[in-house]
Amino acid sequence: MPALIDSPCIAACKLDSHKICVGCYRHIEEIVDWNKRSDAEKQQILQLCAERRLAEPAPEAVTTVNSVEWQAARQALAARRQQG
Contact (Cβ atoms closer than 8 angstroms) between residue 23 and residue 73: no
Per-residue confidence (pLDDT) for residue 12, from 0 to 100: 82
- Position 37 scores a pLDDT of 92
12 close to 22: Cβ distance less than 8 angstroms: yes
pTM beyond 0.85: the answer is no
Helices (H), 13-66: 28-31, 39-55
Q: What is the Cα–Cα distance from 29 to 45, expressed in whole angstroms? A: 10
Digit-by-digit pLDDT tens for the chain (84 residues) are 455 899 999 888 888 888 999 899 999 999 988 999 999 999 999 999 999 999 876 656 666 777 888 788 888 888 888 887
Domain range list for the chain: 14-83
